[in-house]
Amino acid sequence: MKKAIVTCLLTLFIGIAAHAFEKKPVKILVFSKTKGFRHNSIETGKQVFLKLGKEHHFEVDTTENADYFTGKKLNAYAAVVFLNTTGDILNAEQQNAFEKYIRNGGGYVGIHAATDTEYDWPWYGKLAGAYFLSHPAVQEAHFTIADRNHPATSFLTDSTWIRKDELYNFKDIQPDLKVLIFLDEKSYTGGKNGDSHPFSWYHNFDGGRAFYTGMGHTKEGWADEKFQRHIWGGLQYATGLKKVN
């Protein structure tokens, strides 16, 4: 009888311990507030993130409410996505909360116009990796794959990816960026960054992880399976699901 009770209690203890150490599901925040130009692809982008969440079993919250940027709320997320944000979207208190979040190991994913955001907040420009400078008309271009040792590009078997998008030129490009994809300025008109025109990159910054892609302007571009895999790979890095040097 005593043996049975001990066995029962041991089983119960193991069950409680296992439950206590269960990993919480990965959760991300998709933030799409705009104070400048507003992309009509934002809603499409939100739907793609929700779709990726269902496919890869992570939770997705979407918002345009900057009140989410408090220490307590941000700590619930493995990464925060700036989805085609523009302009001055966070006040000083919210900026401080986001800086602390990154310094505590948080993740950042910037999509397209995320570099057209917060020009008066130098820390953010360094996190994103650059600021938007200008762009020519939407057109098809060649993108050169520079690094396949990252989940955002490991599935791209060809050395060149041809796609149509709004092709940003950048300023204040940070020297520590690990560039995944370069834009071939010889393949289109209007480039201003020369032979080394970064377009998708990542870097460890100020204690956290940051991934950015200049792609994501058009609704049609979001339907591209390769682009969705590119975004998913960036999320894997930013959330810490996959370690990258």
Tens digits of per-residue pLDDT, 132-158? Answer: 999 999 999 999 999 999 999 999 999
Q: CB under 8 Å, gap of 24 or more: what pairs does 241-245 form?
A: 241/26, 241/78, 242/151, 244/149, 244/150, 244/151, 244/202, 245/149
pLDDT in tens, 91-132: 999 999 999 999 999 999 999 999 999 999 999 999 999 999
What pLDDT is stored for residue 72 in this prediction?
A: 96
Check whether 163 has a pLDDT greater than 60: yes
Residue 45: pLDDT over 60: yes
Report if pTM > 0.85: yes
Radius of gyration of the chain from its Cα atoms, rounded to whole angstroms? 20
Reported as a pLDDT band with limits 50, 70 and 90, residue 20 is very low
Give me the pLDDT at residue 8, please.
45
All structural domains of the chain with their residue ranges? 38-239
Structure tokens at 242: 């996959």
Widest CA span in the chain: 84
* The CATH classification of domain 38-239, taken from the options 3.40.50.880, 3.40.1390.30, 3.40.50.1970, 3.30.479.10: 3.40.50.880
Residue 245 has a pLDDT of 81
Q: Is the pLDDT of residue 23 over 70?
A: no
**pLDDT score recorded for residue 229:** 98
CA distance 213 to 15: 43
